[in-house]
Structure 1
Amino acid sequence: MNTFDDVFGVAPEVQASAPGRVNVLGEHTDYQGGFVLPTAIPQTTTVSLGRNGTAQHRVYAADLNEEASFAPGANADAPFARYVAGALALGGATEGLNVHVTSNVPMGAGLSSSAALEVATLRGLRTMGLLTANDVQIALTAQRVEHEFVGVKSGIMDQMASSLADTTTLLYLDTRSLERQLRPLPAGTELLVIDSGVPRRLAESGYNERRAQVEEASRLLGVRELRDVQDPAQLDRLEPLLLRRARHVVSENLRVQEAVQPGLSASAFGQLMNASHASLRDDYEVSHPEVDRLVELLQAQPEVYGARLTGAGFGGAVVALAQSGRAQEVGDRVTALYGGAAQRVVP
């Protein structure tokens, strides 16, 4: 794999990294002001940067062996480079930079490889002295990259998780106020994450469509966001499609709030995860038959308390809550049963 020195002929000035994330509970709630419960995964994206003395940015993605060039402030033609282009533009890079990217966060798996790239790039600009921002401001800037340069109207969860979460606790985040707390996993448990091998593409999927549907539901209900609906019975006046979409968001917020109650058992937490998957599959309709099959295999294992798809859906990864010390064994067993291109990501 080509290094920064191999590609650009000099050493980088700075290097910065950011992790991917897995969302344990609270899916498709963050763009409606709701509650989420992600954690960071061990896999990270690393960005190396250095000034090049020209009026062009050059970006090289080592894992793809692809390169792109574009002017400061401009977007990139190559889709892989748009995340970097946006971060450079919004992060204050007005002179040409060389940027080298390498990552072991699975791409297209719903584990926020894009947020990790955005946050890592912005952290690098901060280290270079081109950007003055705290970790929350970096997350907010990274979200703008998605909106303005990538064309995905993402919520704030992925960027906040990549910027603030760690791998040992859950980040309980109110996506409206950005208030947050670190919460432990249920006692005696660990997480298992498996990439189904079914790739998903947010900008090409129904993500923006789902967002528009719940925004319309909020408008019809006369609320700022579905976060403000506490009783699912309030949704009954919506037409059937919007009712299902809104019911997922409202019930998912209630599940997250229940999941962080002190002393909740692993079994009860797992049941919330199972209910979340059913809601994503049936009401929000963002699952996939192969993902459903993988979730069902996990839910059938005696060492697993609960399992669900994670991320925006339409393919990607699943997350399960397993007995401590058993996740790797269960993951290997289930991937063998599932076959195909599934791969265990965590642990």
Structure 2
Amino acid sequence: MTNSPKMNFQRVFGTLPQTQASAPGRVNMLGEHTDYNDGFVLPTAIPQRTTVQIGFSSDARHHFYSAEYDELINFSDDDTIPQKFVTYICGCIRILEKEGYKIPPINLYITSNVPIGAGLSSSAALEIATLRGIRALLNLPLDDVRLAQIGQLAEIRYAGVNCGIMDQMASILADTNTMLFIDTRSLEYRPVPFPTGTEILVIDSGESHNLAAGSGYNQRRAECEESARILGVKALRDITDPKEVEVLPEPLKRRSRHVVTENNRVLEAVKSLPAERFGELMNSSHASQRDDYEISVPAVDALAAILQSIPGVFGARLTGGGFGGACVALVKSGKADVIASEAIDRHHRAGYSGRVLVPEVPVNS
């Protein structure tokens, strides 16, 4: 019993938690960089989750402990938010306070097996788990969509990533058995079944990404906003014909072409497609991210190409914000382990360091 999370919480804080909450990471099947353009996305949850245990602090400070980092950080409302894992937690608390909710000092104990830096929304999982925990602790009258919006604001204002709403919506609403179609303008959503006879495989390229560290993510959003301004629309979601962006100068033309074609791919993908066609859309999406949006890197491109060449793989693409991270593949049911083993072996022989993330138990390479 000494290794149970509850006993760990008690060792750190000297008391027992009042409640706990969790949230999964996500992988995006289609719809990359469309959410901040008011567009359409198609994520699904992954098995890995972030869990927080939470209780009231015995003093005037917040206390946050990460089991993964083995680090305890104490924080009061007068302190500057440090740029660590607590950035997301403190950001959520600050946004809740700006919404008019009084958040008393809390103890928060975090455990997570959501990979960091792989493009699987470890930050959103931490935000949503934290917000769910605080909602339960204080009985806050906030629904899931509002919590997702608060998590998004925390990431924008405090972590410095000018992100869309997809990651937080997926973390709080998606499950591992279906995809979640989200219209990020209206925030309407609905589950969508995977193509018949398929499962997903997620492999980390070994190239970590950090969207807040000058990776170009915020620049891409600014380019899209400038493109929409020139085209006279509220957002690129309002353009449906890729030919309409041909009037733009480079690189705006290519950035916009990706967003328009990616939205169209999502809208086609939700029409109960056979696996072969869904996979073709994934392959086209990767090419668009690589060539038009320019957010891929050699380790990811090599991994996508390897996956796309293996029998039993219907399609594969970069998933997440880009500039590193993971590839997601749609594969024939029952074949994920065998395909993963071959893909990892070939990726390593090419000089890279990929590793399997989903299925959750790594296969031998």
Instruction: Judge same fold: TM > 0.5, yes or no.
Output: yes
Q: Does 1:79 align with 2:84?
A: yes
* Equivalence for 1:343: 355
- 2: CA distance, partners of 1:233 / 1:74: 51
- 1: CA distance, partners of 2:177 / 2:278: 17
Q: Which amino acid aligns with 1:71?
A: S
Q: Does 1:30 align with 2:40?
A: no
Q: Does 1:217 align with 2:220?
A: no
- 2: CA distance, partners of 1:82 / 1:159: 16
* Equivalence for 1:149: 158
Shift of 1:94: 2.9
Work out which of the residue numbers 308, 311, 328 in structure 1 matches 2:337.
328
Shift of 1:149: 1.3
Distance 1:75 1:128, change over 3 A: farther
Shift of 1:163: 0.5
Task: Name which of structure 1's ranges 272-281 and 10-19 shifts more when overlaid on structure 2.
Answer: 10-19
Distance 1:64 1:181, change over 3 A: same
C-alpha contact 2:34 2:41 (8 A) present in aligned 1? yes
Q: Does 1:236 align with 2:208?
A: no
TM value normalised by structure 1:
0.97
Q: Does 1:288 align with 2:297?
A: yes
Residues 80-119 of structure 1: pairs in structure 2 closer than 5 A: 80-91=85-96, 92=101, 94-119=103-128
Show CA shifts across 1:58-78 (max 9, x none). 111110112222213865214
Distance 1:123 1:225, change over 3 A: same
Show CA shifts across 1:218-266 (max 9, x none). 000000000000111111111021000000000000000011113x111
Distance 1:226 1:73, change over 3 A: farther
Q: Does 1:259 align with 2:269?
A: yes
**Which runs of 5 or more structure 2 residues have no equivalent in the other structure?**
360-365
Task: Name which of structure 1's ranges 299-308 and 230-239 shifts more when overlaid on structure 2.
Answer: 230-239
- What's the C-alpha RMSD, in Å, of the aligned pairs? 1.3
* Equivalence for 2:203: 194
Work out which of the residue numbers 56, 60, 64 in structure 2 matches 1:55.
60
Work out which of the residue numbers 171, 175, 184 in structure 2 matches 1:162.
171
Work out which of the residue numbers 128, 131, 149 in structure 1 matches 2:137.
128
Q: Which amino acid aligns with 1:155?
A: G
Q: Which amino acid aligns with 2:158?
A: F
Task: Name which of structure 1's ranges 3-12 and 103-112 shifts more when overlaid on structure 2.
Answer: 3-12
Distance 1:157 1:302, change over 3 A: same
Q: Which amino acid aligns with 2:248?
A: L
Aligned to 1:240, the other structure's residue is in SS state coil
C-alpha contact 2:38 2:236 (8 A) present in aligned 1? yes
Q: Which amino acid aligns with 1:206?
A: G
- 2: CA distance, partners of 1:111 / 1:226: 25
Q: Which amino acid aligns with 1:278?
A: A
- 1: CA distance, partners of 2:29 / 2:157: 28
Shift of 1:187: 0.6
C-alpha contact 2:209 2:322 (8 A) present in aligned 1? yes
Shift of 1:212: 0.3
* Equivalence for 2:70: 65
Residues 39-54 of structure 1: pairs in structure 2 closer than 5 A: 39-54=44-59
**Which runs of 5 or more structure 1 residues have no equivalent in the other structure?**
none
Q: Does 1:315 align with 2:324?
A: yes
- 1: CA distance, partners of 2:193 / 2:323: 29
Aligned to 2:229, the other structure's residue is in SS state helix
Aligned to 1:213, the other structure's residue is in SS state helix
- 1: CA distance, partners of 2:148 / 2:53: 19
TM value normalised by structure 2:
0.92
Show CA shifts across 1:144-167 (max 9, x none). 111111111110000000000000
Distance 1:159 1:73, change over 3 A: farther
C-alpha contact 2:83 2:159 (8 A) present in aligned 1? no
Show CA shifts across 1:93-144 (max 9, x none). 5321111111000001000000000000000011112522111111011001
Q: Does 1:227 align with 2:237?
A: yes
Show CA shifts across 1:296-332 (max 9, x none). 1100101101000000010001100000010121112
C-alpha contact 1:75 1:82 (8 A) present in aligned 2? no
* Equivalence for 2:22: 17
C-alpha contact 1:280 1:287 (8 A) present in aligned 2? yes
- 2: CA distance, partners of 1:16 / 1:301: 39
C-alpha contact 1:110 1:310 (8 A) present in aligned 2? yes
